[in-house]
């Protein structure tokens, strides 16, 4: 009989197991002797991870990939934004454009509506568009 071999980082086993199992994507395996822990909303991980990674600004981590049900990171679509650690993208506020992940004010003489995918547009003739910040 040989001594038990410890599982490598990013894997786990339960008592009585013959082999180690790679930690699945969307989970962390900080301790090889415990079941995987699902990543919190606003974070994600790749298979074999010991920790979860916080979602970056301009991304959301609420989607579930395929039928496995694990969190994955996706870029916010045009007209939406998020701050770091967000589970969901939010509509870009009126008077702002959201092309780089966080809202940026439209300049004087331009405007945008909430959730606009086009960003800031020139103010049309016959209207005024003051900066609302």
Tell me the pLDDT of the chain (133 aa) as tens digits.
578 888 999 999 988 888 999 999 888 999 998 999 998 888 888 889 999 888 888 888 875 543 355 556 788 888 889 988 888 889 989 888 887 667 888 888 888 888 777 788 899 999 888 766 5
pTM: 0.69
* CATH 2.10.50 in the chain, residue ranges: 11-75
- Phi first, then psi, for residue 3 (nearest 5°) are -70, 150
Q: How many Å apart are CA 100 and CA 74, to the nearest integer?
A: 14
Q: In this structure, are residues 112 and 118 in contact, taking their beta carbons and an 8 Å threshold?
A: yes
Predicted pLDDT at 100 = 63
Q: 11-75: what CATH class?
A: mainly beta
């Amino acid at each position: 009989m040989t001594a038990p071999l410890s599982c490598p980082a990013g894997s786990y086993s339960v008592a009585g197991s013959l082999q180690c199992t790679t930690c699945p994507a969307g989970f962390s395996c900080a301790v090889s002797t415990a079941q995987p822990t699902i990543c919190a909303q606003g974070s994600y991980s790749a298979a074999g991870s010991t920790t979860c990674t916080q979602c970056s600004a301009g991304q959301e981590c609420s989607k579930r990939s395929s039928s496995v049900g694990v969190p994955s990171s996706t870029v916010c679509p045009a007209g939406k934004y998020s701050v770091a650690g967000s589970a969901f993208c939010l509509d870009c506020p009126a008077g702002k454009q959201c092309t780089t992940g966080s809202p940026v004010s439209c300049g004087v003489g331009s405007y945008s509506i909430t959730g606009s995918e086009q960003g800031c547009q020139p103010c049309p003739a016959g209207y005024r568009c003051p900066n609302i910040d």
